[in-house]
A and B are shown apart, each in its own frame.
Chain A
Amino acid sequence: MKFVDEFRDAELGRALAGEILAVVEPSRHYKIMEVCGGHTHAIYKYGVDDLLPANVELVHGPGCPVCVIPMGRVDDGISLAHEPGVIFTCFGDMVRVPGSSQTLLDARAEGADVRIVYSPLDALRIAKQNPDREVVFFAIGFETTAPSTALTLRRAKAENVGNFSVMCSHVTIVPPLRALLESPDLRLDGFIGPGHVATIVGARPFQFLPDQYGKPVAISGFEPLDLLQSVLMVLRQLAEGRAEVENQYARVVPWEGNLRALEIMSEVFALRAHFEWRGLGFISQSALRLSDAYAEWDAEERFSVPGVRVADPKACQCGEVLKGVIKPWECKVFGTACTPERPIGTCMVSPEGACAAYYNYGRFAREREVA
């Protein structure tokens, strides 16, 4: 296909790998975190890490929206799905995330009306088609997805769709990054920044990483050469003693972000005081709730939600994986009790989860061989 060979030209990849090799100090071990689960997926799908020197380690961050949802929150969603007359809508990966006793798929098998949607707009459409039912949308995702929920709620309000509500579990990316950097058990040299989140928030919010923590950042696209170039940008900064936010994904990411999206989000959402992240615990001002102006469409106001905190299964080490402290294959249940078909932890549910990415692209076998 036109441009494809050129873009995925092995020579170009090798040239970038050569530049990376030239810029690293052989005696130094580099740890670079790719924040976004989409990057983790792309790295293992395309084997990007195979082109890196052995002393450049990619650490997988907390940017998989499904993986960070705590078990108690899943239970809350399942409880809503079992409410009489409710049509419970959510994105595809959420239906397989284990709660304390079942998944949303299990709830559907028991008779709950659980439907997968691609967009919150689809959920609103279902509400308009079923005026005698209550339609709840389980909203998850980072700043990439939150604008879609915000615009859907504006439509629901404008069209006075009273049988639609949102269980808002949107999260924001900056607070967990701060939490990770404050963690004593993790030493990072730099970051590959989340390209699609930055499409909305811009590159500016990541300026705290160099300013306050002295860490270089490259906001990255999702193609394999994007990722290689971003790794090179971070390593060059380290070699030159710089710490800046560089925008490798400038073809899509404006420095200021999408101002219209940010304005709409500030109208529809407000920051939660605290929110529990799987493996990271409670993080202040790290998630969104509906603003008072949209309280009428807040499922947690409309229905009784248990809101019980549930501890993660003891065998599951998603927390350590999400913090980049251990590699997925180092988890005790990886590939045995926990597989994509029967996941115990959320990191194995979504293809963007580090465990699923390792498992699906054969890293498990390779890492065991190397070890």
Chain B
Amino acid sequence: MIECVAAHGCITCGDEAIPMRVIGVDPARILALCSGPDGERCSVEIALVEPVVPGEVLLVHAGTALARAVEGVGCVHPGTALARAAEGAGSMVLDAAEREEVPI
């Protein structure tokens, strides 16, 4: 899970947006289970960018996807965390164990 840790500075207060890869989608609840550059997972509100599919990389702030990143069309700057997340993007689908791990 992504957490706000006061001791290290709050990423939400810092207006940071994290690139996260979509692992699975729950269209009925407009949520996606996503994985960040360091493998951290959380459920993400996708109402602002839907529809999304597994493998896409979203720019996430405060648990909400603000934008979709598309590699190869100038949206992903080489070397950024966004690019590193995109490197790992595949066509993974959410299995039952993953759903149990992070309920969305």
Partners in one complex: yes
**Which listed segment binds B: A91-99, A275-283, A296-304, A320-328?**
A91-99
B53 lies within 8 A of chain A by Cβ: no
Interface 1/0 per residue, B73-96 and A, CB below 8 Å = 011111110011001000000000
Contact A142 B47 (CB under 8 A): no
Among candidates B2, B67, B77, residue contacting A221 with C-beta atoms closer than 8 Å = B77
B14 lies within 8 A of chain A by Cβ: yes
Interface 1/0 per residue, A22-42 and B, CB below 8 Å = 000000000000001110010
Contact B13 A91 (CB under 8 A): yes
Taking CB atoms, residues of chain B closer than 8 Å to A348 are: none
Knowing A118-B3, A261-B48, A351-B9 are in contact, say whether A7-B79 is a contact too (CB < 8 A): yes
Number of B positions contacting A (CB below 8 A): 39
Number of A positions contacting B (CB below 8 A): 59
Interface 1/0 per residue, B60-76 and A, CB below 8 Å = 01111011010000111
Contact B62 A352 (CB under 8 A): no
Contact A147 B66 (CB under 8 A): yes
B56 lies within 8 A of chain A by Cβ: no
Give CA–CA (A351, B77) in the complex, Å. 24
Tally of A-B Cβ pairs under 8 angstroms: 154
B102 lies within 8 A of chain A by Cβ: no
- Whole-angstrom distance between the Cβ of A296 and the nearest chain B Cβ: 21
Give CA–CA (A148, B79) in the complex, Å. 28
Interfacial residues of chain B within 9-56, with CB under 8 A of chain A in the complex: 9-17, 42-43, 45, 47-48
Knowing A141-B62, A223-B77, A251-B76 are in contact, say whether A258-B10 is a contact too (CB < 8 A): no
Q: Which residue of B lies closest to A40 (CB)?
A: B14
A285 lies within 8 A of chain B by Cβ: no
Taking CB atoms, residues of chain B closer than 8 Å to A142 are: 15
Contact B63 A122 (CB under 8 A): yes
Contact B15 A6 (CB under 8 A): no
A70 lies within 8 A of chain B by Cβ: no
Contact B62 A145 (CB under 8 A): yes
- Whole-angstrom distance between the Cβ of B79 and the nearest chain A Cβ: 2
A226 lies within 8 A of chain B by Cβ: yes
A181 lies within 8 A of chain B by Cβ: no
Taking CB atoms, residues of chain B closer than 8 Å to A223 are: 77, 79-80
Most buried by A among B11, B66, B69, B75: B66
Taking CB atoms, residues of chain B closer than 8 Å to A238 are: none
Knowing A144-B61, A148-B61 are in contact, say whether A63-B10 is a contact too (CB < 8 A): no
Contact B14 A148 (CB under 8 A): no
Taking CB atoms, residues of chain A closer than 8 Å to B67 are: 199, 252, 258
Among candidates A5, A38, A96, A119, residue contacting B6 with C-beta atoms closer than 8 Å = A96
Knowing A92-B5, A118-B4, A148-B62 are in contact, say whether A3-B83 is a contact too (CB < 8 A): yes
Knowing A3-B78, A7-B78 are in contact, say whether A261-B66 is a contact too (CB < 8 A): yes
> What are the 7 closest A-B residue pairs judged by CB atoms, nearest first?
A7-B79, A119-B63, A92-B10, A351-B9, A92-B4, A148-B62, A148-B64
